[in-house]
Chains A and B, each alone.
Chain A
């Protein structure tokens, strides 16, 4: 859901950020089918799917399920709510800018000259 906002970043290539050198953390979150159903349309499915695949977390269906089964919802719960990226570099495909994630906190700030 995060995108590059460097001034020099080429239009249309600032999103999504690629995730490199990720260290993942597994959380235990209460499963709430209604919540996951409400959350689904707010997610960028293609990006979620690609990221989950690249990080080796799960293989989500190619298209967002229109009538998700309990198993679909549980998988999305695992990917979106129980997987936290503890450490990683988020790299912009457009300009190469690296946004680090440290101790579970992504840092989206730019240096003054990049704003």
Chain B
């Protein structure tokens, strides 16, 4: 049952991705941009221009380009079917390998930030819902208003100013490790894991230390909407018949709160999924402030360079990850709430 559901969702996901690939492929080519002149410079000779266009494959008819990208003409170049995202026009290395270096940085950052945001938001949101209108609730309201009132790079800069310049408890915002440290062999791409694989706990803690500020910044931003959502879902749950009944039969206050929390978590999953998918590319400002080199930065670089294969690759990978996250959260929702049938 479960397996069939997952398979079905995966199949639908593949179809969605396929449609997305086609759409993105044509949409970026509709842009009034000339990637070739971008590459060779505006005042190159016509021959040079043509040669560059040939190299990029842009001299071929549009559908032939699509065929190659999809991997239907493997004799010319490998494509999606062969598991290749193509070659970046800007750097000349494969898009796949570039994404593999940038993506883990972002995944590591936002996953940790979500976990931290959750740890903060659940008790705070619960507190607000259990004492609606009281001081604690008002404090929560002010906090979420405050956190959402400024853009994240501003908070990032402020935190850097306070914790690095003034207090000196945070490292300089110069990447995942200090510039003097020799990074470990990239195995998974996740710095925290790679340092452990390399057996270098000192570097592990250094990486953790460097992650601290960006994670806190993101969690600070994220906790605003998450608190609001937890509070609201919790309030609704507290008004439900079964919570009233739980009170009527004298269940302890703690147990009643847990009933309500569980009822509040299910509907929260959807928003979490959307937020996570958004953060995959939306964390770019924080990545920039702390010079982490994440997928958001890579995406922007690719767009500015009209690097079509890179843009397509990033969109495809981010969407695929979002779809997997949605699926996972739906599975969690179903595990929390037995009324949800596959």
Do A and B associate with each other? no
